[in-house]
Structure 1
Amino acid sequence: MGMREDELKAMIEAAFPGAAVTITDLAGDNDHYSAHVVSESFRGMSRVAQHKAVYAALGGRMGGELHALQLTTAVPS
């Protein structure tokens, strides 16, 4: 089934207003993506906590509509 790139980006942007979000479809199948998320809201959070926050924003779609997400997060410099 898969998830469209713009849908994935919109979900992350809704959870992290003002974030810079870059999505790349890794396999061309709407099922394997790379996401780079830069958000001020990550400041003070561990990398693990940042990733958990992004996965939470996806509302349980990991493992269903979205099979794989290669995730990198950062705070603005």
Structure 2
Amino acid sequence: MPMAAEDIEAMIVAAIPDAAVEITDLAGDGDHYAARVTSAAFRGMPRVKQHQAVYAALGGRMGGVLHALQLTTVAPE
């Protein structure tokens, strides 16, 4: 079952409250998304840790309900 972009955004914001999340459906199938997540919580954090924080927010749905997520994480300037 595909996962709605709104659900992805809601889960990320629930775990990272100050996150600004932009979701793009790459294939129109609800399984392949790109996400840009901006959060002050990422400041000083290595990129791999930033991505791990986002994946943790998705609660194990990666590779199951959510097939692919092209992830970009940034700290605001």
Shorter-chain TM range is over 0.9
- The answer for the alignment partner of 1:44 in structure 2 is 44
Distance, in Å, in 2 between the alignment partners of 1:45 and 1:4 is 28
Q: TM-score, normalised by structure 2?
A: 0.97
Distance, in Å, in 2 between the alignment partners of 1:35 and 1:6 is 11
Moved over 6 A (4+): none
Q: Aligned AA for 1:40?
A: A
Distance, in Å, in 2 between the alignment partners of 1:55 and 1:31 is 15
The alignment status of 1:69 with 2:69, answered yes or no, reads: yes
% identical equivalent positions: 69
Shift of 1:25: 0.5
Identify unmatched segments of 5+ residues in structure 1. none
Distance, in Å, in 2 between the alignment partners of 1:18 and 1:45 is 15
> 1:8-66 CA deviation, whole Å, 9 max, x = no partner?
11001111112110000000001000000000011111001100110011000001100
The DSSP-based 3-state class of the residue aligned with 1:28 is coil
1:21-60 to 2 correspondence within 5 Å?
Answer: 21-60=21-60
Aligned positions, number: 77
